[in-house]
Amino acid sequence: MKIIDAHLHYSNIQSFKETARDLSFVEYSYEGIQKEYQEANVVLGIAMGLTETDGMGFPDERAITPMGLDLESEIPENIVYCAGINPYDLNEQSLKRLEEEIQKPNVVGMKIYLGYYPFYAYDEVYEPVYELAEKYRLPVVFHTGDTYSERGLLKYAHPLTIDEVAVKHRNINFMMAHFGDPWVLTGAEVIYKNRNVYADLSGLIVGTEEVLEKRKNDCFMDHLRHALVFADSYDKLLFGTDWPLIPVAPYIEFIKGFIPPKYHEAVFYQTAIKVFPKIEPFLK
């Protein structure tokens, strides 16, 4: 089965480098991701644009919109990306840069980092982003749920805030990263209720294959099992890794355990094409 990784990182972020070195033990480099993708039959990755400057690290108020990928000098051919949004940098000049960026073939969506930046999804600051998303028929990805920084503010990342945006902007497809974990039951209701909201299953675990094995056999993921059954919307889910937070192949097997086999093709491949239609040329 061919697989699309709908959520990974390929940016020069210090916390990602530390996680790769100390927790997941993956090789966070071009060679590292190519090896993992080849071994796992991942044919395309959708990276989330993210940059930080030399001061506080991400979340960084000084990052320039659009945020892109800067782990190495070139972006791999089998990785496309969503342009990252810094709400503190959404002036006229920034929006012009963003509009130019999203017209590039390998830019397939936009990413808003709820919780990392203290603005709700329905804040007026993001309205120009939604206008561009509708104009160019691009999806908007939201970070939802726990933040990978203690400087994040969780109330802004709660998945319920997506409902208001989804109702207001019915012509835009939205994807909740991480299914709103740990508020996955709320996330399940949001994707069930709104035809234009999807969720990826990335970043639910940080660590190694051994950590995944442990979590597979204890009660840690019972809240996810409950949410998946409650929503009964497997066609609204996308596989993603949040690499480098977890090795690719073991995480594929981990997520397969939560998804009925008849939905594997949708979750691991087809729904990504539906949400990110610009990726189709990269799959031929």
**Domains in the chain and their CATH numbers?**
3-283 (3.20.20.140)
Rounded CA gap, 19 and 128, in Å? 34
Each residue of 5-42: pLDDT tens digit?
999 999 999 999 999 999 999 999 999 999 999 999 99
C-beta of residue 191 within 8 angstroms of C-beta of residue 230:
no
C-beta of residue 164 within 8 angstroms of C-beta of residue 121:
yes
Each residue of 179-191: pLDDT tens digit?
999 999 999 999 9
Give pLDDT, residue 150: 87
Rounded CA gap, 115 and 97, in Å? 24
Q: Tell me the angle at which helices 248-256 and 30-40 cross, rounded to the nearest 10 degrees.
A: 40
Residue type, 282: F
Give pLDDT, residue 121: 98
Give pLDDT, residue 208: 97
Spatial CB neighbours of 91, under 8 Å, sequence gap ≥ 6: none
Phi, psi for residue 151 in degrees, rounded to 5: -85, -5
- The DSSP bridge partners found for residue 79 are 45
Each residue of 49-78: pLDDT tens digit?
999 988 777 888 889 999 999 999 989 999
Give pLDDT, residue 203: 96
- The DSSP bridge partners found for residue 114 are 117
Give pLDDT, residue 55: 74
Q: How confident is the model at residue 284 (pLDDT cuts 50, 70, 90)?
A: confident
Give pLDDT, residue 152: 87
Task: Give residue 187's Cα distance to chain centre.
Answer: 14
Q: What stretches of the chain show up as alpha helix (H) in DSSP?
A: 14-19, 30-40, 92-101, 127-136, 161-168, 184-193, 209-216, 222-231, 248-256, 264-265, 271-275
Each residue of 209-236: pLDDT tens digit?
999 999 988 898 999 999 999 999 999 9
Give pLDDT, residue 226: 96
Residue type, 102: I
Sequential DSSP letters for 252-268: HHHHHTTS-GGGHHIII
Rounded CA gap, 182 and 180, in Å? 6
